Amino acid sequence: MAPSTEPKTVMSLTPVGIMSEEPPLKRAKYKKPTASGIDEGAKRILAQANEIFRVNLLLHGPYQLPMKMMTLAMESWQEACDVLHRPYKETDDILRIILMRTSHLTNEFKNAARVAIARLHLPENKAEKCGLPTGFVEDRDAEAANRKLAEWLGDRSAVTFEDPFERSGAYGSEALSAVILGCLFGTKTPIGVQYAAQFRPIPPQVIALAATALDHVVKEWSTGVRKPIDFTQASAGTKYSYHISCLAKFQTVNADGLDKLRERLYVQGCYRAGVCASEGQEETSIPLMSDDDFLR
């Protein structure tokens, strides 16, 4: 058989410069599920589940593996169904909406930390001795001073100490307290009061999250001008684990001191919310913990 003189072709190619008749397919944009698309019978359960999930995030920490997060979401939904006595099967969209509360929570702590850092005012005499400004200033002429302050406050999380110059009073800074009180006790229906059994005394995970948020906001000033940084698991997970580890050491070397700190934070929160923590409750003094006691 004589060979064919026609060239073998695999597919017909469109010459360069010639548009095909059909436009290329566009990738469909991802659309976040919203409560408006949820069945009316499930909306009340969803609101309850979101609240329970927020509590679970605060107790377990928001920087968990995806499988753990999904488990927390499913457990929160089931608990909401039990509380409301309304059994309802969760859907993928419902679970996605619940999981979205993770970023809501971390952003809430980040914003509270920004307010606390904006109000930060170091003692003038001590700051002057160290060549530091007393706080951050939104001014181009203050960039060098802002950079120096950010580096100093970020060194081993000095911003979380009651006395950052002596590095004493671990996790006792006013800024850290302000973040916790704002996020747990700063609303009309404070979650810290509503779920007192879970938050009295304040869990170490909440303290660690507040400390992580403060470190994150200080880092935003590292160039001398505040530049927003995403507060995500990738950027904050390691720092959160660091604070959890430090608090575990705190528990080992001075359990009584940590217990008093946690109780004091809760009582302060109740006062802020206009609620009496208990009859005759007096704020106890806490001896300042030195950095050398447990931070290495």
pLDDT digit string (tens) for 234-287? Answer: 889 999 999 999 999 999 999 999 999 999 999 999 999 988 876 444 555 565
**Which of 112-126, 181-195, 228-242 is the least confident region?**
228-242
Alpha-carbon distance of 72 to 227, in angstroms, equals 33
Beta bridge partners of 163: 168
Q: What is the pLDDT of residue 17?
A: 46
Alpha-carbon distance of 72 to 286, in angstroms, equals 35
pLDDT at 162 over 70: yes
pLDDT at 33 over 90: no
Residue ranges covered by each domain of the chain: 39-99, 104-294
As a whole number, mean pLDDT of residues 195-211 equals 98
Q: What percent of the chain has pLDDT over 70?
A: 83
pLDDT digit string (tens) for 62-82? Answer: 999 999 999 999 999 999 999
Distances (CA, A) of 243 to 41, 47, 203, 238, 296: 41, 31, 13, 9, 12
pLDDT at 129 over 70: yes
pLDDT at 138 over 70: yes
* pTM listed for this prediction: 0.85
Alpha-carbon distance of 195 to 78, in angstroms, equals 18
Q: What is the pLDDT of residue 290?
A: 61
